[in-house]
Structure 1
């Protein structure tokens, strides 16, 4: 339950403070951002080497083509060819076919390897990001929208897949073609090549400067897409409320406005990239055309042969094409850099709740449940540091004892459960389980010793069997069914169309509130923990179901320590001890009878509830 002490999540992006203990985020800049992907690329060095070999062979085959044409022009059609002209032409075209075959095989091998790398690295990144996110503490989810995380897992990783699986290969290929073509241009005519290089330097400067603007717009575009995804996820998860308040059109307009904002940002990026592409093509090809004009005059003057000019033109085309392709790749790299920054920011976030450096084990426990001790616990939520949710809380629970926790909303009851599960750490004081500070226990050991039945039950998109088995993944079908019987869930599950194999729908939409809660109780009973936390475990049940579940819970409490949060005091009267909380403190302790006799907060709550029950019963009579 939300007793008012749990902060309401906001919808801001991850804060810089969340990553305070994390490695530094990548510096702004394409190379710095993409360098952060190296840990995901290193495991596949062998595949990169194979792709590199195929790339070198393909680039070499491409660079051999202009030389073959030079030989054909000078020795096939030139004045010195003579009677050997047909033979030279045949040999040249045979060689060209051989080069084309090598080029085709090498290109296919390169495409296969880099595509495999793109898919593999993307899968690794998605798994790493998801595994990192599910390990975050609730503090992270207070400030991060689920839809934004999903956008990073899908849209951003797809952009990185494009870079790893296509753009890196194209960049390397065209870099090799540029370098090889440039070398052959010098071999063909050093004078013309020097002129073309000088002109190209003048063209690169504006391209680089404008490329920075493209990168910033790419990051902005991804942010707007994430905003739209987050909004859609939030609304789709709340459709009953949206429809009950007839807000369908309002929410559709909100989403439409968000999508239009993303579209406008994307169009700014597209326009900037279009201008970048135009600049690259016009400036580079203009420089090449000017140099080729000089070469044509050199042939007319006799200082170059026709074959030399043809070879120069083909190598110039290769170089210019490589530059044009690199400008396209740069545009993709700009977008991927923004995506990489967002993913690396997510991976840089470190939870404040970590396994201890020197973990301890729980001592061997005899039957009877866990011992629990809270000593001087102070706690404030990170989003509300000025407001104490718990203050100087002291509590000792004996093994096997059942303790009920009551109090008004905002008293700190649910906060206490969150600290026991170590979703947060207290700012002062200590919590001990079987005499061991829970901060000295591995998180899986601690949480494995605790079972919880929350008020807001979570049902997964699976069948009834798997939903209950969530309590203990290795449980047999028979153990699952036994737990369902204990929780009074067996009968209604058996009546489902396919029994325990019935799909329960997303978030359990095919079940009533009481049925969902009984699934959660069965899940906790299957786990069979020494410490059981019940957070309004019977709040959504009708009278008959509550009677059945109460009997099941009382049986389940035997041999284990149990803490019960309840507003309905009828469910806690048989507890060994009742503690009353107010403003984060324990203000009363005792049994039902002693607290009623005390005439304090509990007595007032009991009098109000039981009076309402009597009035309702009289009205029904």
Structure 2
């Protein structure tokens, strides 16, 4: 059986930031049947546009000739049929093409989401969440708008030009060279704009991304800003970003305005010239042209110039959409992936972790964050990591979790090199309780069972009881259906942390990572959280990072890090009696 390719992967393979127009055509090519049907409906619905000038010419000639009246009724019947059929075919075009546009938008958003889930933690550390949100929301919307707003006039202009050229070739072939004048003018105008439009659109997009990052930063820092009375500083930073957007947007608007005016004036002069030329030809006898044909030629040229003008006017929309394709490609083509494809899946975890000469150096860093770490952690053992800021504690946890791949040595998980494992399957057996628990806008139950699918009520209640959160939930008017607010804003820090512990408990992990899990809590909350953590740690391999040494006295072993190296290992009592770095840290904390 062949391998099934997910839509997200298919879309990702089609996007090329260096060839945005090719990428858009490839995306439409995924829906060939519907696109072909939409084009067919469009050609039929546009029949009145090119047929009415012929009908008008025929009616004028009938009037000039004084009959016969039956010819007039035939022209009227043709006009009626051409106009009435527009409704069903326009509806068919809208349904078919817009279903493709909306599907392309959904496919792009899904592809971006899937890609973001596979990119490394290093990428997410470097790139602002607000910028990522702008790409998923605004840039994909720009691509949808480009397809909506450019396709209709482009198809319309194509139909009109084809019909006008064919009809004129049959009726008045001498005038075909006049139509050809629109081509060099349109190309010249397009070249004038596109030469500068890409740079202006890219500058505008970058300013919008900077502004989005500033707004996200403002929202995140709001408590700090208000607590320190520095509202004016926050306002100034956002205002600087808004000024960047205003300035770049204004320059782009002026460029588009100049182009729009040049396009309109140039093409209207050609249209007026065609009318005068056709009239002169008819009057002077230079060409056998009837009064009706003069009207037809003038109408066709007006339609051609109008269609070309409309297409040219939409070049700014197209340029913005293509720039958004480049923006989306920055994520879809980002090479900094967590590579799990084709690696062995993990079906069972005992909880043994070994750092075998492991080290890590961050990109562009002159020194290693960790060097030559040799440490084996047995299943069910609790090991705490302490040291001053920058000593490598968090880097070590990220290595154990597989968020970072060692640049020196290796990490063994249950005796197997982590580099050979699909770490997504390994993490199903892992739970993390960070310093700041992360909750989403949803009910307490949804937050506790996040990602687990169907979980029995008893299992959830047991997790809440073990996390010292059952009384908290029972005391709420809506129980565990209570919505916690964005990032758990309606709960205190201690309450959020206990729900994070319940989330860990309900997963029954084999490996537990605690990163400063109690450092931000008041004494009462800390007591409840410590008690819950004690239950959570029973029988599980636990790696603890802590600044407050009082929280790790009961650890089986304490590992002291300094400048990325292990300098001491032992129990609390052993390290105190050794009178080394740990003893000094303990004395400093009183």
TM-score tier, shorter chain, comes to over 0.9
User: Structure 1 residue aligned with 2:87, among 97, 100, 104?
Assistant: 104
Task: Tell me the residue number matched to 1:404.
Answer: 384
Q: Contact (CA 8 Å) 1:471, 1:524: kept in 2 or not?
A: no
Give the distance between the partners of 1:355 and 1:165, measured in 2 at CA: 38
Correspondences of 1:180-259 after superposition (within 5 Å): 180-198=163-181, 200-202=183-185, 204-259=187-242
Q: Does 1:321 align with 2:321?
A: no
Q: C-alpha displacement at 1:361, in angstroms?
A: 3.8
Give the distance between the partners of 2:529 and 2:132, measured in 1 at CA: 38
Q: C-alpha displacement at 1:23, in angstroms?
A: 9.8
Deviations 1:99-136 (A, max 9, x none): 11123332232233322222221122122112212322
Cα distance change of structure 1 residues 224 and 545 upon mapping to structure 2, 3 Å threshold: closer
Give the distance between the partners of 1:419 and 1:50, measured in 2 at CA: 53
Correspondences of 1:564-603 after superposition (within 5 Å): 564-603=544-583
Q: Contact (CA 8 Å) 1:504, 1:511: kept in 2 or not?
A: yes
| Secondary structure at the counterpart of residue 37 of structure 1 | helix
Count of aligned pairs: 577
| Secondary structure at the counterpart of residue 78 of structure 1 | helix
Task: Tell me the residue number matched to 1:165.
Answer: 148
TM-score (norm 2): 0.92
Give the distance between the partners of 1:363 and 1:179, measured in 2 at CA: 63
Cα distance change of structure 1 residues 48 and 202 upon mapping to structure 2, 3 Å threshold: closer
Task: Tell me the residue number matched to 2:339.
Answer: 354
Deviations 1:166-214 (A, max 9, x none): 3123212212212221232233322222134246524532442233323
Give the distance between the partners of 1:52 and 1:562, measured in 2 at CA: 62
Cα distance change of structure 1 residues 475 and 273 upon mapping to structure 2, 3 Å threshold: same
Correspondences of 1:420-431 after superposition (within 5 Å): 420-431=400-411
| Secondary structure at the counterpart of residue 507 of structure 1 | helix
Give the distance between the partners of 1:533 and 1:575, measured in 2 at CA: 13
Give the distance between the partners of 2:112 and 2:182, measured in 1 at CA: 45
Task: Tell me the residue number matched to 1:3.
Answer: none
User: Structure 2 residue aligned with 1:50, among 37, 48, 69?
Assistant: 37
Task: Tell me the residue number matched to 2:330.
Answer: 345
Task: Tell me the residue number matched to 1:461.
Answer: 441
Q: C-alpha displacement at 1:406, in angstroms?
A: 1.9
Give the distance between the partners of 2:468 and 2:417, measured in 1 at CA: 36
TM-score (norm 1): 0.88
Give the distance between the partners of 1:48 and 1:568, measured in 2 at CA: 63
Deviations 1:476-513 (A, max 9, x none): 23212211111112222222332212222222222222
Cα distance change of structure 1 residues 314 and 105 upon mapping to structure 2, 3 Å threshold: farther
| Secondary structure at the counterpart of residue 97 of structure 1 | helix
| Secondary structure at the counterpart of residue 495 of structure 2 | helix
Q: C-alpha displacement at 1:48, in angstroms?
A: 0.5
Task: Tell me the residue number matched to 1:62.
Answer: 49
Give the distance between the partners of 1:532 and 1:467, measured in 2 at CA: 18
| Secondary structure at the counterpart of residue 379 of structure 2 | coil
Q: C-alpha displacement at 1:143, in angstroms?
A: 2.2
Q: Contact (CA 8 Å) 1:167, 1:333: kept in 2 or not?
A: yes
Q: Does 1:133 align with 2:116?
A: yes
Give the distance between the partners of 1:364 and 1:260, measured in 2 at CA: 55
Give the distance between the partners of 1:23 and 1:143, measured in 2 at CA: 25
Which protein, 1 or 2, shows the higher relative CO under an 8 Å CA cutoff with sep ≥ 6?
Answer: 1
Give the distance between the partners of 1:160 and 1:220, measured in 2 at CA: 17
Correspondences of 1:380-419 after superposition (within 5 Å): 380-384=361-365, 386-419=366-399
Q: C-alpha displacement at 1:68, in angstroms?
A: 1.7
Task: Tell me the residue number matched to 1:261.
Answer: 244
Q: Contact (CA 8 Å) 2:347, 2:425: kept in 1 or not?
A: no
Q: Does 1:77 align with 2:59?
A: no
Give the distance between the partners of 2:171 and 2:558, measured in 1 at CA: 94
Deviations 1:154-176 (A, max 9, x none): 22222111122231232122122
Q: Contact (CA 8 Å) 1:402, 1:577: kept in 2 or not?
A: yes
Task: Tell me the residue number matched to 1:26.
Answer: 17
Q: Contact (CA 8 Å) 2:274, 2:298: kept in 1 or not?
A: no
Task: Tell me the residue number matched to 1:482.
Answer: 462
Give the distance between the partners of 1:23 and 1:466, measured in 2 at CA: 36
Q: Does 1:153 align with 2:153?
A: no
User: Structure 2 residue aligned with 1:507, among 487, 504, 517?
Assistant: 487
**Once structures 1 and 2 are overlaid, which stretch shifts more, 244-253 or 548-557?**
548-557
Give the distance between the partners of 1:330 and 1:487, measured in 2 at CA: 59
Q: C-alpha displacement at 1:270, in angstroms?
A: 1.5
Q: Contact (CA 8 Å) 1:578, 1:590: kept in 2 or not?
A: yes
Q: Contact (CA 8 Å) 1:122, 1:158: kept in 2 or not?
A: yes
Cα distance change of structure 1 residues 383 and 241 upon mapping to structure 2, 3 Å threshold: farther
Q: Contact (CA 8 Å) 1:36, 1:344: kept in 2 or not?
A: no
Cα distance change of structure 1 residues 193 and 361 upon mapping to structure 2, 3 Å threshold: closer
